[in-house]
Structure 1
Amino acid sequence: MQHEHIDVLIVEDENELAQLHAELIGKHPRLRLVGIASSLAEAQTLLSSLQPQLVLLDNYLPDGKGITLISNPLLVHANCSVIFITAASDMDTCSLAIRNGAFDYILKPVSWKRLSQSLERFVQFAEQQRVWKIVDQQNVDSLYQLQAKNYRQDNGSKGIEENTLALVQTLFNDQAAHCFSVDEVVNETGLSKTTTRRYLEHCVDAGFLSVEMLYGKIGHPRRMYRRSAE
């Protein structure tokens, strides 16, 4: 049976991070990226015109805070859910997001695996709402469990090829003190940018690498990768 796509809007002013999110959405057969907004004003415009079912929402935007969108009538009346992805670690912001029904709340630097699991749970959540027209207590409990599920501590190795992983890890072992950008790893290994990002994020989730944000004078911060301390 053909399933309808779930339209997703990304609200994120860090271009590199927005592209990472876009890649994850592109890999899921049920999700469809309909737009990327880099400001609060642009987000409001795209919410109105695109009417997505899910928003990946950053908090710190050039023209205001993403948390203000969460109680916006555009979201409330459009039956649109929010996965909040932010550096905001204060309890007030987190509590406000939860009170306003955010599906999930993920702190930066973002774990690739953590966001993948959240997107998969949302797809299941949306599908069960579509199938169940009338609910009993068991159905309701199942929906709540999807929204607050314990994360599987798997090794996240699906799609990870041993020789390619060894190539990436050798680079970082040989230059343990160096902080690499994605482009530097691409140049050193000859891998594609998409493949490089996937392996780097796998290494972060496995604890082999750590992420640092490089803030330059111009443009958005870049994700830099370094060998984790033993």
Structure 2
Amino acid sequence: MQHNVIDVLIVEDENVLALLHAELISKHPRLRLAGIASSLAEAQTLLNQTQPQLILLDNYLPDGKGITLINDPFMAQANCSVIFITAASDMDTCSQAIRNGAFDYILKPVSWKRLSQSLERFVQFAEQQRVWKIVDQQNVDSLYQLQAKNYRLDNGSKGIEENTLARVQKLFADDDARCFSVDEVVSKTGLSKTTTRRYLEHCVEAGFLTVEMQYGKIGHPRRLYRRAAA
């Protein structure tokens, strides 16, 4: 059975984050990157040009708030869904997103695993809508469960700052076959050893990194960190 490819537009003004999100999309066989916008104006232009089925949308942009994009006339007519990926933790923004039918709402700093799961659920959601021309109650319940799946709260994000996280993740994204020790990450990022350990373990918990143990002849084994396989 042939599957349709889903075009995804990324709206994010932090370039490193946008590239990380783009990489995640490129690794999924059903998703295709439609473009990257770093401002509201650019997003509106690309929205009309590329006609995506999904937008990964940041809220705080240089020329306005991403939430206003869902009131764009094109959005009202297009078959386009939104996953908010934002630092906007105020209830008003969250409520607006829900009222306007956002598929998901992910708070920064982003868990790699959480975003991957959200994208996978959207692919299933889109496929079921395409296949089911007429629905019964069981079909409807299934669609709502995909959109409203519950997640365990990720307390590991406490004390994790988005730009620092992106700096650490970029190191592994640029060289995804290499193992890094804590000391090597300290050297390349300029972070303290304590901070580096916290961010590396957060990346492991989020599914972005894996840990390998290196056993030497003397002393404790070293923890080496490698980019997790897609």
Residue in structure 1 matched with residue 107 of structure 2 by the alignment: 107
- Determine helix, strand or coil for the equivalent of 2:194: coil
Separation in structure 1 between the aligned mates of residue 122 and residue 42 of structure 2, nearest angstrom? 24
Give the count of matched residue pairs: 181
Question: Normalising to structure 2: TM-score of the pair?
Answer: 0.71
Contact 2:34 / 2:52 at 8 angstroms: preserved in 1? yes
Kept in 2, the 8 Å contact 1:58–1:66? The answer is: yes
How big is the alpha-carbon RMSD for the aligned residues of Structure 1 and Structure 2?
A: 2.9
Q: How does 1:65-76 map to 2 (within 5 A)?
A: 65-76=65-76
Letter in 1 for 2:7: D
1:84–1:106 contact (8 Å) kept in structure 2: yes
Q: 1:182-210 deviations in whole A, cap 9, x for unaligned?
A: 9xxxxxxxxxxxxxxxx8774252799xx
Identity %: 75
Q: How does 1:104-183 map to 2 (within 5 A)?
A: 104-151=104-151, 167-168=180-181, 176-177=193-194, 179=196
Distance 1:165 1:179 in 2: 17
5+ residue gaps, structure 1:
154-163, 183-198, 209-230
Secondary structure, counterpart of 2:193 in structure 1: coil
CA 99–50 in structure 1, closer or farther in 2 if over 3 Å, else same: same
Superposed displacement of residue 141, structure 1? 0.3
Q: Which amino acid aligns with 1:176?
A: K
Q: Which runs of 5+ in 2 are unaligned?
A: 154-176, 210-230
Distance 2:47 2:186 in 1: 45
Deviation at 1:72, TM superposition (A): 1.6
Deviation at 1:75, TM superposition (A): 1.2
| SS of equivalent to 2:32 | strand
TM-score (norm 1): 0.71
Measure how far apart 1:176 and its partner are.
Answer: 2.6
Taking the aligned partners of 2:207 and 2:25, their CA distance within structure 1 comes to: 21
1:44 corresponding residue in structure 2: 44
Deviations 1:122-175, CA, capped at 9 Å, x for gaps: 00000000000000000000000000112489xxxxxxxxxx897445757996
1:205 is aligned to 206
CA distance in structure 1 between the partners assigned to 2:207 and 2:8 by the alignment: 28
Q: Report the equivalent of 2:96.
A: 96
Measured in 2, the distance between the counterparts of 1:179 and 1:201 equals 10
- 4+ residue stretches of structure 1 with deviation over 3 A? 164-175, 199-202
Distance 1:178 1:92, change over 3 A: closer
| 1:4 shift after superposition | 1.5
